[in-house]
Amino acid sequence: MKSCNEWKPLIAMIAVEFGFATVNIFLKKVLEEGMNDLVFITCRLLVATILLAPIGYFWERNSRPKLTLRILFCLFFSAIVGTSLTQYFFLLGIQYTSATFACAFINMVPVITFVIALPFGLETVDIKGISGKAKVVGTLVCIGGAMVLTLYKGMPLFDHSYSQAETAINVMHMHPTRKTERWTFGTIALTVGTLLWASWFPIQSYIGKRYPCKYSSTAILSLFGAIQAAILCLATNRNHSAWSFKGKIEIISVLYAGIVGSGLCYVGLTWCVKKKGPVFTAAFSPLVQIMAAMFDIPLLHERLHIGSLLGSITVIIGLYILLWGKNKEMQNCVSKVTQEAEDIKEQEPQLPVITVSAAADCP
């Protein structure tokens, strides 16, 4: 039973990242067809709220602690950095770059989460030990990979006929300078989204300790996010026709993204953050890129560039150096605690053993 419980967070995170990868494919499709990104965010969060609210109310009503103003404020702030603004910047990034490039940029999330967790005591670094050195080296390698992703695009690895036709169309409708500006803007949007998303894990770790109800907290989080996204949409776009759906693919995409992406995936993330901590949960982010590429290149005909590949490989290498150091640190901690317990046991005074013979009791 113990080994089964240890595998549950791993299986849950693989399923979560697969869900996020498939949601990104739907996002790219509906955005290309002209759907407003903030409308999409608002609707998917409303779908998640409608799905999770009754589950949280009935399933957790006997174990749910009191919902204080402090917890509500934390959930409201968590919605800003984890749903509304994060999804908005990522959607902008997907629009101006590609789904594969956006997923590759998420590889930086574990490192940024690790750096943010340090001052709050959620992570420690012993620079004298091999585990601390591995965590620092892994962090620096990840940053180097992210710089390659940002600054170097390179030649495409696949030169398919459909990619050539697509490129010819883009050149006809877009000046090269304008194209570069769009890619730069998309990269900046992805950077902001990555910083916000990395900040969400430590915040959610704090919330999980004080309000350990994954369905109720995710429902409230989704509701706050939907309200924030709707306000942002109304402030930036006064065209009310943007709220109308233009086809079945938009409806299906919103429902799928709401149920899977903003509903089940966030519940899984919340549960894993509570069980294993923010850095462990964020460490699975690179899986999104691998899974998305499996769909993105053959189905959406995205072009994979050598810069994205080299940067992603570098980030993943750095990430797992970091994870190796973290795992080594946990093993050392367990060994230290075990040794201290044995030392305390040896230092306990031994009480003398008194034996009473049967003859002593006889008169």
Whether residue 154 is contained in a domain is answered as yes
Q: Containing domain of residue 205, as a range? A: 2-334
Go through the chain and tell me how many residues it has. Answer: 363
Distance of alpha carbon 285 from alpha carbon 323, whole angstroms: 13
Distance of alpha carbon 115 from alpha carbon 279, whole angstroms: 10
Whether residue 55 is contained in a domain is answered as yes
Whether residue 173 is contained in a domain is answered as yes
The pLDDT confidence band at residue 359, using thresholds 50, 70 and 90, is very low
What is the average per-residue pLDDT within 51-80? 91
Q: What is the pTM of this model?
A: 0.73
Distance of alpha carbon 214 from alpha carbon 190, whole angstroms: 27
292 vs 230, which has greater pLDDT? 230
- Tell me the torsion sign for CA atoms 79, 117, 281, 292: positive
Distance of alpha carbon 78 from alpha carbon 76, whole angstroms: 5
Whether residue 348 is contained in a domain is answered as no
Whether residue 63 is contained in a domain is answered as yes
Which residues are CB-contacts of 81 (< 8 A; sequence separation ≥ 6)?
196, 197, 199, 200, 203
Tens digits of residue pLDDT in 66-79:
889 999 999 999 99
Whether residue 356 is contained in a domain is answered as no
Residue 98 phi, psi dihedral angles, 5° rounding = -160, 160
Whether residue 67 is contained in a domain is answered as yes
Looking at the structure of the chain, the number of domains it has is: 1
| Chain centroid offset of residue 276 CA | 14
Whether residue 341 is contained in a domain is answered as no
Distance of alpha carbon 151 from alpha carbon 54, whole angstroms: 46
351 vs 114, which has greater pLDDT? 114
Contact 16, 260 (CB under 8 A): no
- The SS3 call for residue 120 is coil
pLDDT of residue 177: 53
85 vs 95, which has greater pLDDT? 85
Contact 215, 60 (CB under 8 A): yes
Of 71-80, 162-171, 194-203, 260-269, the range with the lowest mean pLDDT is 162-171
In this model, does residue 181 exceed pLDDT 90?
no
pLDDT > 90 in the chain, percent: 16
